[in-house]
Amino acid sequence: MTDRLAIALAQLNPTVGDVAGNADRIAQAHAEAAGQGADLVVCPELIVTGYPPEDLVMRPAYAEACRQAALSLAALTKDGPALLIGTPWPGGGGDPRPFNASVLLVDGAVAAVRYKSCLPNYGVFDEPRTFRPGPLPEPVEFRGVKLGLMICEDMWKPGPAERLVEAGAEILVAPHGSPFRQTAHAERVFQAEARCRETGLPVIFVNQVGGQDELVFDGASFALNPGGIAYRAPLFERSVATTLWERTETGWHCEEDLSLEWEEDDPLVWRAVVTGTRDYVRKSGFESVVLGLSGGIDSALVAAIAADALGPENVRCVMLPSRYTSEASLKDARACAEAIGCPYDTIPIEPAVEAMTGMLADSFLGREPDVTEENLQSRIRGTTLMALSNKLGVLLLTTGNKSEMAVGYATLYGDMNGAYNPIKDVYKQRVFELARYRNEERPAGCLGPEGRVIPERIITKPPSAELRHDQKDEDSLPPYPVLDDILHGLVEEEISVDAIVRRGHDRAVAERIQHLLYLSEYKRRQAPPGPKVTSRNFGRDRRYPIVNRWREKA
C-alpha cells in the first residue's frame, strides 16, 4: 500500500473510428506522463474509439478491433505507468451492443474492467441504443488504493458513487466524453461536488477535447478535493498533466495547482466554434475552405472564425455580386478579407441570373416576380461556390445563424449549401457580440491576425440579404432582439406561447414565429452540421417531426 500517487490527467483529442490513430495518441500521452513521473494515466471515456461512436460500435468487427487495441496498449505498462482507458467492450449473448468500459492496464496486462451503468438518453445522448448497461461498479485496486470508476453519466447520478464508497473506494475517477455548452463547467463542477459531499471522497474528472461532427469537447478536466478544486486543465487544448496525491488522516488529497483560470462567455464560445471548425475540416481530410463573403455580418464572422481555425491563407473568400449588391457591400467585403488576410475573389452572378431567367421566361409568363427570383440568385451563388469547392478541393462553409435557421430565413440549395456551418448554433444577437469581441481580442490558439478583423460598418449597418432593392431583414422578421428572445423561449426553454406573451411580446408575433419554427423543420434536416454551443441545438438535441400541424394558441 502506498501513501503517494502521481496521477496524470490525459486530456486527448481522438477521432471517431481511427482506432490505430487513437491508440497512438494514448501511447504518446503515456510517454509524456512517464516523463513526468506518473504512476497512473487516466484517459477520457471511450478514448480508443472517440466519442460519440454512435451505431459504429454495434458492428462486431469494430468493437473487437477496439478491444484488441486496448489489449495491445497493455504492453506499454510493463515498464511504465499504468493506464486507465475507455473503450467499447463486447458483451456477447446475442446482443450487438457492447459495454461502455473503462479498462485498467497494469504491468503489461488487464488488471480490471468496469462498465458504465447509467446510460444517458436525453439531449445529444442516446446511449441505450448503442450500449448495454453494466452493473453498479465495484472499486478497482491499484497499488493498494481502491479507485472508484464512474464513467461519465455515472458521476451525474448518486447511485454509483454510493455503491463505490460502500465498497471501500478511496478516490473517485470519472472519465468523460462531455460536450461543450455554455453552462457545462458549472454543471460538471456542481455534480462532482455533490458526489464529493455525499461520499467524502475526492474526484478526478478527465474529459476529451476537440470537435466531432456537431459536438465540441472543451476538456476542462479537473481534480476536486473535499475542500474545493485543486487542479484545472486548459480549455480546448490537448493536455497531459500529472497531479500529486497524498494519503492523509482525512483521506486522499490532491496537491493544489490553480495557476490556470477558465474563461467565460464570449471567449469560451469563440474558442468552441474555432475548435469545432478546425477539427471538422482537418478530420475530414481538408486543409482549406471557401465561403461566400457578402459584406454582411454573418459571413464576415465565419471568415474570421475560419481564419482563426485554419490560418487566413487557407480561407478563400468569394464575393458574388448581383444587380442588387450595394457599393457599400462590395467595399465592406473586400475590407474584411484584407483585414483578415484571406485570398479574395469576385465573381459577378448577373450573367447566370440572366441566363436562368431567360430559360424560365416562357414557364413564368404572366406571373409577377416574387421570392422565386430572389431564391434563384441565392441558388446561383450556392452552385458557384460548390463548383469552386469541387474544382479546388476545398471544403465549403455556409454562414447562416441560428435565428435564420430557426425561422427558415435561408434558401435550400442556395446559401444553405456547404459541408459545415460554424455559426449554426449562434443566435443573431450573439453574432454581433462575437464580432465585437474578436475585434478587441485574439483568443489563445487562434491563427488569425491581431486587432480589428471585421470592419465597423459591417457590424453597425442593418442586416440585408440584398436579393431585391432596399431589402432589409426586418422587412420579413421582427427585430432580432425580439426574435431571439422568442426563439430562446420556444427552443431552449420549451415554454408556451402564453409564457412568451407574459414576457411582453405581441401574441400575433409569437404565434407567427412558432409557426415558422415548425414549418422550417424540413430545411433544418437538410442543413449542414455546426458546433453546438447552446443548451439545445438544432440536430441531436431537438428532434421534431418534419410534417407537424401542431400550433399552440390561446
293 among annotated binding-site residues: yes
Annotated catalytic, 116?
A: yes
Check whether 399 is labelled as a binding-site residue. Answer: yes
Close Cβ partners of 189 (under 8 Å, ≥ 6 residues apart): 222, 224, 229
- pLDDT on residue 424: 97
Chain-centroid distance of CA 123 in Å reads 13
- Residue 347: Cβ within 10 Å count: 16
Contact 454, 336 (CB under 8 A): yes
List alpha helices for 95-183, DSSP H: 127-130, 158-166
Residues whose CB falls within 8 Å of the CB of residue 478, separated by 6 or more in sequence, listed in order: 486, 509, 513
Quote the pLDDT of residue 540: 85
Is 295 known as a binding-site position?
yes
How far is the C-alpha of 105 from the C-alpha of 80, rounded, in Å?
11
Measured in residues, the chain has a length of 554
Strands 239-248 and 228-232 turn out to be unpaired
User: Which of the residues 45, 127, 374, 511 is marked catalytic?
Assistant: 45
User: Is 292 annotated as ligand-binding?
Assistant: yes
523 is in an annotated binding site: yes
Catalytic-labelled residue, pool 43, 66, 116, 511: 116
Amino acid at 53: P
Question: Which ranges in 311-401 belong to alpha helices (H)?
Answer: 327-340, 350-360, 371-392
C-beta pairs of 26-34 under 8 Å, 24+ apart in sequence: 26/73, 26/83, 26/85, 27/73, 27/76, 29/240, 30/73, 30/76, 30/80, 30/81, 30/83, 31/80, 32/8, 32/240, 33/8, 33/81, 33/240, 33/242, 34/80, 34/81
Q: Which helix (H) or strand (E) holds 87?
A: strand 82-89
Q: Say whether 254 is catalytic.
A: no
CA distance 62 to 55: 10
Separation in Å, CA 415 to CA 343, 381, 396 = 20, 7, 11
Residues 517 and 487: beta-carbon distance below 8 Å = yes
What pLDDT score was predicted for residue 177? 95
Is 221 within any annotated ligand binding site?
no
Closest CA to 332 of 293, 304, 358: 293
Asked, as a colleague might, if the bond just before 179 is cis with ω within 30 of 0, I would say: no
- Does 404 belong to an annotated binding site? yes
Q: Is 358 annotated as a binding residue?
A: no
CATH number assigned to the domain covering 267-471: 3.40.50.620
Integer angstrom CA distances of residue 465 from 189, 260, 328, 476: 43, 43, 13, 11
511 is in an annotated binding site: no
Helices (H) and strands (E) in the chain, counts: 17, 19
Amino acid identity of residue 86, one-letter, is G
SS3 254: strand
Catalytic residue among 43, 66, 118, 152: 152
User: What's the grid cell of residue 298?
Assistant: 454573418
**pLDDT value of position 471:** 64
Q: Which ranges in the chain are annotated with CATH 3.40.50.620? A: 267-471
Distance CA 9, CA 36 (A): 11
CB proximity list for 96: less than 8 A, separation 6 or greater: 58, 60
pLDDT score at 359: 95
296 among annotated binding-site residues:
yes
Phi, psi of 391 (to 5 degrees): -70, -40
Alpha carbon separation from 389 to 36, 313, 408, 417, 504 (Å, rounded): 45, 16, 25, 11, 46
At residue 412, what is the residue type?
L
- Catalytic (active site) residue 331: no
The CATH code of domain 4-255 reads: 3.60.110.10
Half-sphere exposure of 172 (CA within 13 A, CB side): 36
Q: Say whether 86 counts as a known binding-site residue.
A: no
Q: In the prediction, which pLDDT does 465 show?
A: 63
281 CB contacts (<8 Å, ≥6 apart)? Answer: 287, 289, 309, 310, 395, 420
* Binned average pLDDT, 10 residues per bin, the chain of 554 residues: 92 96 97 97 96 91 91 94 95 86 96 95 89 94 96 94 95 96 91 94 97 95 94 95 94 86 88 97 96 95 98 97 91 96 96 94 92 92 96 96 94 94 96 96 93 94 70 77 95 94 94 94 94 91 87 78
Residue range(s) occupied by CATH 3.60.110.10 in the chain: 4-255
Cβ atoms of 88 and 100 within 8 Å: the answer is yes
Of 180, 85, 162, 69, residue with least CA distance to 118: 162
H helices within 424-545, ranges in order? 428-440, 456-460, 480-491, 497-502, 507-519, 521-525
Are 365 and 257 within 8 A, CB to CB?
no
